[in-house]
Structure formats: structure tokens, C-alpha cells
Amino acid sequence: MSGNIQTHKPKFAVRIFSLFLAMALLAGVLPQIALAAPAPSVAQTCSKYHTVASGDTLSSISVTYDISVTELATANNLTQPYTLVIGQRLCIPGSATTTPTGTSSGSSSKKTGFTVERQGTNLVIKASNYPKKSNFYVKLKKGRLSSAEPWLKLGILRTKKNTEVTRSFKLPKSFYDAPQFQVCLKNAKSDAISCQSFVQ
């Protein structure tokens, strides 16, 4: 019996040594992998940060910065149902901009944007440099973007062969006396949203 035990001792010692050697190699490699791994793209592309306030939703925040909900969620590693906490700090991707206020006349940069004008009971929207043959949902909301007011779908603005289009929409009676409301165009395909405030 003792002879059998002695013959297995070297094998057992070899296994223990191999295990320690493997652990030592792994411990030496892991830090290098960690150092070689690229930093999260979110940290590199945050152009600004948004602190969540009461009434904020991922949708309203995406509208504010003219990005899609998907982009905002991805930049902050959020998963559905996208629960936000007041005071939470969100990364706004570097490609995001604040909501456009329309293109100024005579601009040579040809920026995408739209203007809003009220003519009696109609709301006239002129969109410039939007993609051709695209559909945009026109949405209204009383107050500010962060308000708890519900969104109202006004209609669809379509661009055909031209990148500039003007269309008139019937303004709902509930908006006649609203001192301020938001007007947004949402691309039906990409979900990209651009908004601006309209003050009466």
C-alpha cells in the first residue's frame, strides 16, 4: 500500500505545480488584457451630460438633444423599460446637438431644420434640407419638452423630390391660447427627432 502511495506523490505534486503555474500565468496576462481593452466609447463620445429632472423620460430627453432613444439608451447602457431616476446623470453622445431652431435665410451651410409660423388657425411648417422621399410625424406638446403634457400627433409631413417642403396643418383648438408649445418632426424610419419651441 505504501509503495502505491509513493508512486502517486510525484504525479500529484506535478498537478499542483501545473495548477499554480497556470494561475500565475493567468494573473500576469489578465492585467495586460484589461489594459489593452479599449475604454468604453461612451466615455469618449459624450459631448455633454443631462441630469434627469422630474417628468423626464428617455423619449423627451432624446427629443431635446435631437437623437434617437436607441442612441441615448446605448450610450448609457440602459435596457428596457428604461427606468430613470431623478438626479441621474446621462451621457449625451458626441454627435448629438441641441434642438435646431430652423435654418436662417441666406445660410450657405444648408443645415437641416424647420421653421414654424401660425397663420390664423393653421400652423405652417417649412422644412429645409431633410432627406428626400421621407415621412416625418408632426407632433405637438404644450409647455416645455420636459413637461408632463401628452404628445399630440398633428399629421405627416412628406418630402418628395425636393429637400425643402412647406405644409399647413390645422392647429387643434386646445392649442389656440397655449402661450408656448413644442413642435417636433420625427423621421418615420430612423426615429431621429428635431424640435423647437413655438411661443405665441
Domain harbouring 129, CATH code? 2.60.40.10
Work out how many domains the chain is built from and give that number: 3
Residues 184 and 132 in one domain: yes
Write out pLDDT tens, residues 126-174: 988 888 888 999 999 998 887 888 999 999 999 888 778 999 999 999 9
Q: How many CA within 13 A on the CB side of residue 4?
A: 1
146 in any annotated domain: yes
CA distance 173 to 22: 75
164 in any annotated domain: yes
pLDDT at res. 101: 40
What average pLDDT does range 46-65 have in this prediction?
A: 80
145 in any annotated domain: yes
C-alpha cell at 102: 430652423
The pTM (predicted TM-score) of the whole model is: 0.48
pLDDT > 60? residue 55: yes
Write out pLDDT tens, residues 8-39: 556 666 677 667 666 655 555 444 433 333 33
Residues 183 and 125 in one domain: yes
CA distance 6 to 198: 90
**Cα-to-chain-centroid distance, residue 73:** 6
pLDDT at res. 169: 94
100 in any annotated domain: no
pLDDT at res. 49: 85
Best-predicted range by mean pLDDT (3-7, 53-57, 119-123): 119-123
pLDDT > 90? residue 124: yes
pLDDT at res. 144: 85
Establish whether the linkage from the previous residue to 172 is cis, with ω within 30° of 0. no
Q: Which domain holds residue 31?
A: 1-37
101 in any annotated domain: no
pLDDT at res. 59: 77
pLDDT at res. 12: 64
Write out pLDDT tens, residues 89-111: 888 887 544 444 443 334 344 67
